Amino acid sequence: MTRQGWTVTSPLESERFAWLDTISAPVQKGWHALFRANQGTMLAKNALNGVPWRHRVHPAIIILPLGAWTTAALLDTLDGFASRNGESQYRASADAAVAFGLVSAVPAVLSGWADWVDQYGHQRRVGMAHALTNITAIALYAASMGLRVRGMERRRTARALAGLGYAIVGAGGVLGGEMVYNLGVNIPHVLYPKAPVKWADVLGSNELPEGTPVVVDFERVPVLLLRHEGSIYAVESWCPHAGGPLNEGTFEGCIVECPWHQSRFDLRDGHPVQGPAATLLRTFEVREAGGRISVKPSFEAADWPPAPAPPAEHPALAPQ
């Protein structure tokens, strides 16, 4: 059986993090009620999603607080050194950068909730972790700002709180990036159909000789099969970097090299071993019996991106 490889958000799939779903359900309901309250709030959500501009607002607007807090981190560091010799000329600018970050975080946060409110499954859970991480960072910056306006005595603590906030907002950024690049949040899914989660008889055993890759069509998804040292591996034949045809690539044992930009992947679990691709190939479980080969999306592939919930179960459409 081919298992999907590890990603940064894999630990969040564990039952230990089910509490994120418990929090997500009422929060999601609350945001839905707010965004759907009237025509005006619907228009506001449209704007926060980026509909009028045909471009997502969230990834564009987060550069404001991130840029401000990066500036603050630099100025705080210079302030720390300069303060040893008395008065520092960096202090007022550092405070202004922290303050600007806090103000610009408001539209960044709102656009994030507007995007998250329509997520479900693992994407919703990772999105909640991303939100909680960033809220923690904002709280630290707010506390830092409070100390800054109160004067000099707490300056060191104020800088430390901002530094901690900066590290945490970085972790939030990693989760946000994972949501897009690995979990496929808000990418145009129409480009890449997903195979249904079921076993499909795709090939005769005698049609897959050792070491010769074969591509089969599984309901519009090209599945690349390779028999290697007694095992059969199956992955999507689209390269996750830009959709290159992996079946036309070069093979070396269980490693395939994409013919377009030379990304290399391990077919055993789909993990990238050479860029530019940095995300996993979707993998398939393989069964061989009675001279026939069947495949089915592996558990992780079936949940990545998750299959859409039927409308009646979708939180956005569930009866109130």
Q: Which of 165/244 has CB closer to ligand FES?
A: 244
30 and 131 Cβ atoms separated by less than 8 Å: no
242 and 227 Cβ atoms separated by less than 8 Å: no
Q: Which stretch binds ligand FES (CB under 6 A): 165-173, 188-196, 209-217, 253-261?
A: 253-261
- To ligand FES, the closest distance from the beta carbon of 181 in angstroms equals 14
Which amino acid is located at 37 in the chain? A
- The continuous run of DSSP H or E covering 40 comes out as helix 39-49
Q: Which of residues 260-279 bind ligand FES (CB under 6 A)?
A: 260-261, 263, 276-277
Q: Which of 201/248 has CB closer to ligand FES?
A: 248
Q: Which stretch binds ligand FES (CB under 6 A): 29-37, 173-181, 259-267, 306-314?
A: 259-267
Residue identified by tokens 């007694």 is 230
Q: Which of 90/265 has CB closer to ligand FES?
A: 265
- How many residues touch ligand FES under the rule CB under 6 A: the total is 11
- To ligand FES, the closest distance from the beta carbon of 283 in angstroms equals 17
Distances (CA, A) of 287 to 33, 255, 261, 294: 46, 21, 32, 5
SS (H, E, C) 208-277: CCECCCEEEEECCEEEEEEEECCEEEEEECECCCCCCEHHHCEEECCEEECCCCCCEEECCCCCEEECCC
Residue from 258, 293, 295, 302 binding ligand FES (CB under 6 A) = 258
Longest distance between any two alpha carbons in the chain, whole Å: 83
Nearest of 64, 162, 161 to residue 112 by alpha carbon: 64
The contact pattern for ligand FES, residues 205-244, with x = CB under 6 A and - = no contact, is ----------------------------------x-xxxx
Q: Which of 255/307 has CB closer to ligand FES?
A: 255
Q: Which of 31/260 has CB closer to ligand FES?
A: 260
Q: Which residues bind ligand FES (CB under 6 A)?
A: 239, 241-244, 258, 260-261, 263, 276-277
